[in-house]
Amino acid sequence: MVQVVLWGSLKSATGGATKVEVEAANIRELLSRLGEKHPGLKPQLDRGVSVSIDGKIYRDAWFQPIPPGSEVFLLPRLAGG
Amino acid sequence: MPLDNPKGQSFRLVGSRPDRPDGIDKVTGRAKFGADMSAPGMLVGKLLRSPHAHARIRRIDIKKALALPGVKAIVTRDDFKEIEGDLRDVSRNVMARDKALYDGHAVAAVAAIDTATARKALKLIKVDYEILPHVTDVEEAMKPGAPVLHSDLFTQGVEPTPKKPSNIAKRHEFGHGDVAKGFAQADVVVERKFKNEATHQGYIEPHACLASVGNDGQGELWVCTQGHYAVRNVCASLLGMDVSKLRVTASEIGGGFGGKTTVFIEPVALALSRKAGKPVKIVMSREEVFRASGPTSSATVWVKIGIKKDGRITAGDAVLKYQGGAFPGSPVDMGAMSAFACYDLENVRAVGWDVVVNRPKQAAYRAPGAPISAFGVESVIDELAQKIGMDPIEVRLKNAAHEGTESSYGPTYGVIGLRATIEAAKVHPHYKAPLGPNQGRGIASGFWFNFGGQTCVSLNINIDGTVALAVGTPDIGGSRASMCLMAAEELGIGYDQVRTIIADTSSLGYNDISEGSRVTFSTGMATIQAARDAVKKLCGRAAQMWGISPEAVLWENGHAKPAGANAGDFPPLSLADIAKVAANTGGPIAGHCEVNAEGAGVSFSTHLCDVEIDPETGFTRVIRYTVIQDAGKAIHPSYVEGQYQGGAVQGIGWALNEEYIYGADGKLQNAGFLDYRIPVASDLPMIDTVIVEVPNPGHPYGLRGVGETSIVPPLAAVANAVSAAAKVRMTEIPMSPPKILKAMGEAQRR
């Protein structure tokens, strides 16, 4: 089970929770299960997010493993200039 | 891809300062920029732009314009299909549909045999506008009763979702802990509101492109851009073309800074060319660049920070309101994420509001959103240091984020270099230098993320042992030199033996845009991997010639050698020796890499600024400026220093001079470099630089992106210096002479 910390404004899509738990071994599974469990998150997930695993931020890597006990954050999709 | 040797690395070429490969071309005028391209039978494209800030477009009559001799094609909204999804707003920004949403919004375009005819035709196009009330100020746009730009825009991120549309697109919130509890623990609390005007990236080269679409539906586009693959994909979608039928070549680029990460004229040129059956070139005027490309946000920022008398910050809170122009998507989310990212805080919160107004759709500008929030936070830190009587460097050191800090936006930091930059500032001669009358000194720190992204490179070994390296990321800051250095380092050959080119979109796999300080990091990582791939193949060819196993061959100083006595006794083969007989040993030798580069390290910078104010006029001159930034590993230090200096100069311009000025009519009043003044060399001292190197564990050489962080601290560093010299806290930028005089006068009256 992975505990995911959402950024504050997403709590409106999770009934007020900023920490949610899903069963996932990699980023693809994480995003897919988050969307299933909290359909309100789906529009944001479809628009794009970044995922931080133990301090490293990933934008696209579906198959990046999420080791047990990892610190996982959902973040807006980063863009630069 | 992890750091090769965490205990320290020595390099043969990386870290040296060879001449830039594009230098001669650029100083002799041989380099081809966007407007330098031409084609036989080429037509001139010109755009008709809305003179109104907000107007419904009832009808567009092109009959008279089309009948003008020499006019070959006209396009309007009817020539672009309705797009839904991610590209909807891009499409509507490229060509207005039901409404013109800002002064300068494109409403039609003409292709004609020459400029005079095209201009004449624009005057013959009749647009029937219903003028609507407009709003250009971010706070005015948020008020109930403000003119609403989009009837289908309902604020996201609030509970419950509003039932009425408004100009507030989205609410973001980041942080942790309990800020109320933190403020209760503070000995001193400072709370202030800051305001900044919108600025433009100010690239010297206006947007330009040449499009050619044949009767067979195949197209070519030559364009000045930071990302030609993205241009290809977006244009193909907007025009309903197969991606494979559009080949895009990036020209040299005369500055981008984030402003050339999207499309404006490119789909229009392609649509005109498709309709006319001839190549069409469009070059924006400077006025068009200001009115109709993408400046950054204007914003208001409220910041509250509490501190103990011993200098420990107990809580930080901020509310950011950024306008993103006529469409959602201001960088307020990244402004909120980065606002307090320099500090190790138990209680922190940053709330961001993304707001639409009747201005051009904002585009990325170097560390988008971060300089604006840093201006507020770093100003309040400065004021708190004064109030508790502590050196502002000591306050920063006491609270600086470090490895293991839970960042203000969430993730725990790995190895970072913020503290190293602050400590370097503390011992820099600049910090202790005496100041004269009417002079003040400011310090500020800044943070930016950096990222990797999709990257594809091809490294080809030529018959004479030289190397052609094809990359797909436009060189916007010296990346060709860095790639040559990294390839040569890996291959064991000279810098001059590698030539790096920017390949067109049909020659390599997809490459993400040159943005996010990503190119030296991710294209560098791909180049290193491609070189290692080529080395493996070179060793294989040597093994074949020697009749030994490839595993028994090693690559050293540009030569294949037997790995040891047991491998046999063979004279080393140079890269050129192996290349010369490639045809006989299996054909061409090349290394490739396709990667979605991950592992980018975050980056920090600390700036010192001295200013002198003329008390009679309020005119401010920057008299000394020092940038100290963590590069992880500087591949080509001169280019790294150039990035530090360039970011600082743009930030100084933003702090002191630059601003978009809108009249009550919603029209931009200063669309030119005479009235929108960017700093030039004679305005500034030499910007001093210090490169700090705290290796990034996510890159084989340890490098971090350096292109953006340098613009984050200057707004606050200059504001803190001006506030010290003027003896009054400055909270609005640009700090133009009238604003400084007014603030000084008010302070004296108090």
Question: pLDDT tens across B391-441, in order?
Answer: 999 999 999 999 999 999 999 999 999 999 999 999 999 999 999 999 999
* β partners of residue B382: none
pLDDT at B191: 98
Number of folded domains that form chain B: 3
- Asked if the Cβ–Cβ distance from A8 to B174 is below 8 Å, we say yes
- Asked if the Cβ–Cβ distance from A76 to B337 is below 8 Å, we say yes
CATH of the domain at A45: 3.10.20.30
Whether residue A8 lies within 8 A of chain B, CB to CB, comes out as yes
Residue A37 lies in a domain: yes
Residue B562 contacts by C-beta under 8 Å, 6 or more apart in sequence?
B546, B548, B552, B553, B554, B568, B569, B570
Q: 3-state DSSP call for residue A36? A: helix
In this predicted structure, the answer to whether residue B159 has a pLDDT above a threshold of 90 is: no
User: Average pLDDT, stretch B234-254?
Assistant: 97
Nearest CA distance, A7 vs chain B (angstrom): 6
Phi-psi region of B630 (alpha: psi -120 to 50; beta: other; left: phi over 0): beta
- Chain B stretch 544-603, residues whose beta carbon is closer than 8 A to a beta carbon of chain A: 596, 598-600
Contact predicate B454/A60, CB 8 Å: yes
Domain stop point among B597, B624, B649: B597
Residue B675 lies in a domain: yes
Claim to verify: residue B458 and residue B578 sit in the same structural domain: yes
Q: 3-state DSSP call for residue B627? A: strand
In this predicted structure, the answer to whether residue B330 has a pLDDT above a threshold of 90 is: yes
In this predicted structure, the answer to whether residue A61 has a pLDDT above a threshold of 90 is: no
Maximum alpha-carbon separation in chain A: 36
In this predicted structure, the answer to whether residue B648 has a pLDDT above a threshold of 90 is: yes
- Asked if the Cβ–Cβ distance from B598 to A8 is below 8 Å, we say no
CATH of the domain at B436: 3.30.365.10
Q: What are phi and psi of B74, to 5 degrees?
A: -135, 135
Contact predicate A55/A73, CB 8 Å: no
Claim to verify: residue B284 and residue B329 sit in the same structural domain: no
pLDDT at B599: 87
E-only strand ranges, B582-686: 589-597, 603-613, 620-630
Question: pLDDT tens across B4-52, in order?
Answer: 988 889 999 999 999 999 999 999 999 999 999 999 999 999 999 999 9
Q: 3-state DSSP call for residue B124? A: helix
Amino acid at B418: L
Residue of A nearest to B696 (CA): A56
Q: How far apart, in Å, do the first and last CA atoms of chain B sit?
A: 59
E-only strand ranges, A1-81: 2-5, 19-22, 49-53, 56-58, 72-76
- Test the A interface: residue of B178, B261, B598, B650 with most A CBs within 10 Å: B598
Q: Which two tokens stand for residue B561?
A: 């050698």
Residue of A nearest to B259 (CA): A81
Q: Which two tokens stand for residue B166?
A: 């408004």
Q: Per mean pLDDT, which range of A43-52, B239-248, B457-466, B674-683 is the poorest? A: A43-52
Claim to verify: residue B348 and residue B420 sit in the same structural domain: yes
Rg (CA), chain B: 27
pLDDT at B596: 94
Claim to verify: residue B393 and residue B329 sit in the same structural domain: yes
CB count within 10 Å of CB B39 equals: 16
Contact predicate B252/B203, CB 8 Å: no
3-class DSSP string for B28-61: HCCCCCHHHCCCCCCEEEEEEECCCCCEEEEEEE
Residue B544 lies in a domain: yes
Claim to verify: residue B569 and residue B609 sit in the same structural domain: no
- Chain B stretch 256-275, residues whose beta carbon is closer than 8 A to a beta carbon of chain A: 257-259, 261
- Asked if the Cβ–Cβ distance from B414 to A55 is below 8 Å, we say yes
Residue B175 lies in a domain: no
The DSSP letter of residue B521 is I
* β partners of residue B470: B458, B501
Domain stop point among B597, B628, B657: B597
CA-CA-CA-CA torsion for B120, B122, B125, B127, nearest 10 degrees? -140
Claim to verify: residue B565 and residue B461 sit in the same structural domain: yes
- Test the B interface: residue of A56, A62, A64, A70 with most B CBs within 10 Å: A56
pLDDT at B750: 85
Claim to verify: residue B561 and residue B475 sit in the same structural domain: yes
- Asked if the Cβ–Cβ distance from B449 to A9 is below 8 Å, we say no
- Asked if the Cβ–Cβ distance from B598 to A5 is below 8 Å, we say no
Claim to verify: residue B560 and residue B620 sit in the same structural domain: no
Question: pLDDT tens across B432-484, in order?
Answer: 999 999 999 999 999 999 889 999 999 999 999 999 999 999 999 999 999 99
Residue of A nearest to B707 (CA): A81
Whole-structure pTM over 0.95, yes or no?
yes
Band (pLDDT 50/70/90 cuts) for residue A59 is confident
Whether residue B366 lies within 8 A of chain A, CB to CB, comes out as yes
Q: What is the separation of C-alpha B627 from the centre of its chain, rounded to a whole number of angstroms?
A: 18
Claim to verify: residue B426 and residue B466 sit in the same structural domain: no
Contact predicate B728/B664, CB 8 Å: no
Claim to verify: residue B427 and residue B525 sit in the same structural domain: no
Residue among B623, B636, B611, B639 at smallest CA distance from B726: B611
Band (pLDDT 50/70/90 cuts) for residue B248 is very high
Residue B628 lies in a domain: yes
Band (pLDDT 50/70/90 cuts) for residue B106 is very high
Q: What are phi and psi of B737, to 5 degrees?
A: -50, -45
Burial bucket for residue B438 (CB in 10 Å: 0-12, 13-18, 19+) = middle
Full domain range(s) for residue A26? 2-76
User: Average pLDDT, stretch B671-686?
Assistant: 96
Claim to verify: residue B506 and residue B529 sit in the same structural domain: yes
Phi-psi region of B599 (alpha: psi -120 to 50; beta: other; left: phi over 0): left
Burial bucket for residue A63 (CB in 10 Å: 0-12, 13-18, 19+) = exposed
Number of folded domains that form chain A: 1
The angle formed by the CA atoms of residues B727, B733 and B736, to the nearest 5 degrees, is: 75
- Count of pairs with CB atoms under 8 A, one residue in A, one in B: 102
B493 vs B488: CA distance, rounded Å: 5
- Asked if the Cβ–Cβ distance from B516 to A73 is below 8 Å, we say no
Full domain range(s) for residue B714? 299-450+601-749
CATH of the domain at B75: 3.90.1170.50
ipTM attached to this prediction: 0.94
Claim to verify: residue B639 and residue B715 sit in the same structural domain: yes
Q: Which two tokens stand for residue B669?
A: 């009043």
Residue among B455, B449, B591, B598 at smallest CA distance from B517: B449
Domain stop point among B549, B570, B597: B597
Residue B644 lies in a domain: yes
pLDDT at A12: 84
- Chain A stretch 26-65, residues whose beta carbon is closer than 8 A to a beta carbon of chain B: 47, 52, 54-61, 64
Residue B11 lies in a domain: no
